[in-house]
Amino acid sequence: MNVGPFGRVPRDGLGSAAVPDLLSSTDWELITFVVTGDFTLVTHNARDFRGEGQENPGGLHAQQEIHAGLICLNSFYPMDLDRQHRLFQLALAELDGMPDLINQALEIFEDEEGTVTAELYDIPGPL
């Protein structure tokens, strides 16, 4: 699974190689980049990429034959950088020991009381 700072890609653990500026990319440009590069996408713009969730998966990931997975960060509260970082650390802990996220989504939810839960489910490719 390729995980690195946003906008940078690890290169065999030796430095990094610059990648295109993804902040201004459309969702279609981003999904193309992610799938082509075999990256796991981490987002809090979950609906566009995973559809309605486990009960009704869809979105851009479901239109891909194969993808390296999706991590969705969700909270009752606004997603400031500190919250995103904390939820991402919890997602990484959930992934520990998993071989991959191929054609799957990991949803991290923070509710109003601050309780965080994780849900893993399949996002199969197109039928």
Q: State mean pLDDT over 46-66.
A: 72
Does the residue 53 lie in any domain? Answer: yes
Does the residue 85 lie in any domain? Answer: yes
Does the residue 68 lie in any domain? Answer: yes
Burial string for 55-74 (b: 16+ CB within 10 Å, else e) reads eebebbbbebeebbbbbbbb
Residue 110 · residue 76 · CB < 8 Å: yes
Q: 81-124 pLDDT, tens per residue?
A: 999 999 999 999 999 988 889 889 899 999 999 999 999 988 87
pTM: 0.77
Does the residue 21 lie in any domain? Answer: no
Q: What are phi and psi of 9, to 5 degrees?
A: -125, 125
Does the residue 14 lie in any domain? Answer: no
Tell me which residue range forms the domain holding 85: 38-122
What is the number of structural domains in the chain?
1
114-118 LR contacts (CB < 8 Å, sep 24+)? 116/87, 116/90, 118/90, 118/91, 118/94
Does the residue 25 lie in any domain? Answer: no
